[in-house]
Amino acid sequence: MSNLLETHQPPTRHPSVLRSYPAYLDALMEGDHFTCNQVLQSLLKEEVPLIDLYRGLFERSLVHVGRMWESNEISVAAEHMATAMTESLMAQVYPVLFKTERCGRRAIVSCTVNEYHQVGGKMVADLFEAHGWDSYFLGANTPLPDLLAMVEEKTPHVLCFSLALYSNTPTLLKSLQRAREVFPDLPILVGGQAFSWGGTEILDRVSNTHFLANLNVLEDWIQQW
C-alpha cells in the first residue's frame, strides 16, 4: 500500500474562512440554517476555493460535532441535525461546483455496508467534480454487489471508499479484497474519520490501495494524476 499519510495540518489557512468559522459553528450547533447559509454565501461571493470551504467550514465543524457526540455533550439527534444541515449547505455550492469543464476521467465514491456517515464521501466526490472528473457517489450503506456492478458499468479510473466508524473496518477489508479480485488493476483510495487514530495497516493486505488522510492530500493526488 502506498501511504500518502500527511502529518498534522490545520484544515485551512484561508483568512475569510478562519474569521467566519466561529459564527458558522455556533449557528450550526443552534440549528440556525439561515445564519450558516449567510456565512456560506458570503464566502462563495468572495470565491473562496472549494477545498477551503469544505475543510475549513464543513469538515471542521462536523469533526467538532462528532467529538461532542463521542463525549456525550450532545445527543445523536443533535449530531444528525448538524449533519443534515451540512449536507443541505453543501448543496448551495453545487451550482458552482458542477460548472467545471470535464477532463474525461471518472471516479466512484462509496461508503461500505452499514456505514451511514456519508458526508465525508460526498466531499471526496465533490472534490473530484471540482477538478473536472465525473464522480459517481453511491451514498451510505452501499451493498457490495451493487457497487461492483456500478464499477463494471462506469469503468472509473479510481474507486474510493469512505469509512467513518472504525468498527466497520472488517466490512471495508472484505469490500477491498472483493473489488481487487474483480478489478485487479483499478487504483483504490481509502479515507475517513475511522482512521483518525491510525489503523491503516489493514490496507496493506490489498494491493494498489492508497490511504489519503484528508481532502488536501486527495487534491494533491488528483493534481498529480
Partner 1 sequence: MVDDSHPFDPWLINFLWYSAAVVLMEIDEDGVVTRANRFSRSLLDENPMGKPLKSLIVDFEHKLDIRHLPADGKAIHQLSFGTGQKLPQTCFMRFLRQGNKTLVIGEVHAEQIEQMRHLLVDTNNRLSNLTRDLHKKNADLERLNEIKNQFLGMAAHDLRNPLGAIMLYSDYMLEHDNDTLADQHAEFLNDIRSLSQFMLELINDLLDISAIEAGHLKLDLEPDDLVPLLKNAVSLHQPLAGKKEMDLKLHLPAETLPVQIDANKIRQVLNNLLSNAIKFSPHGAKIEVQATLTEDEIQVAVVDQGPGVKPEEMLQLFKPFIRLSAQATGNEKSTGLGLAICNKILTAHKGRIWAENNPDGGARFFIALPILEL
Binding site for partner 1 (CB under 8 A): 76, 80, 84, 87-88, 90-91, 94-95, 97-99, 102, 116, 118, 122, 125, 129, 137, 139-141
**Please, which residues bridge with residue 159 across strands?**
108, 188
Residue 159 CB neighbour total at 10 angstroms: 25
Q: 3-state DSSP helix/strand/coil percent for the chain, to nearest 5?
A: 60, 10, 30
What nine digits make up the cell of 51?
A: 477545498
Residue with cell 467538532: 64
Nearer residue to partner 1 within complex by CB, 58 or 211? 58
Q: Using alpha carbons, select from 132, 121, 136 the residue that is nearest to residue 54.
A: 121
Specify the residue, 20 or 118, whose C-beta has the smaller distance to partner 1: 118
Q: Which CB, 9 or 98, lies closer to partner 1?
A: 98
DSSP state of 131: T
Minimum distance, C-beta of residue 206 to partner 1, in the bound complex (Å): 26
Whole-number minimum distance, CB 99 to partner 1, in Å? Answer: 6
- Taking a C-beta distance cutoff of 8 angstroms, is the pair 56, 16 a contact? no
Smallest separation (angstroms) from partner 1 to the CB of 167: 14
Q: Which is nearer to partner 1, 10 or 31 (CB)?
A: 31
CA 164, 95, 149, 222 torsion-angle sign: negative
**Residue 157 to residue 104: CA distance in whole angstroms:** 10
Report the nearest approach of partner 1 to the CB of residue 6 (Å). 27
Q: How far is the CB of 93 from partner 1 (least distance, A)?
A: 9
Nearer to partner 1, 140 or 213 (CB): 140
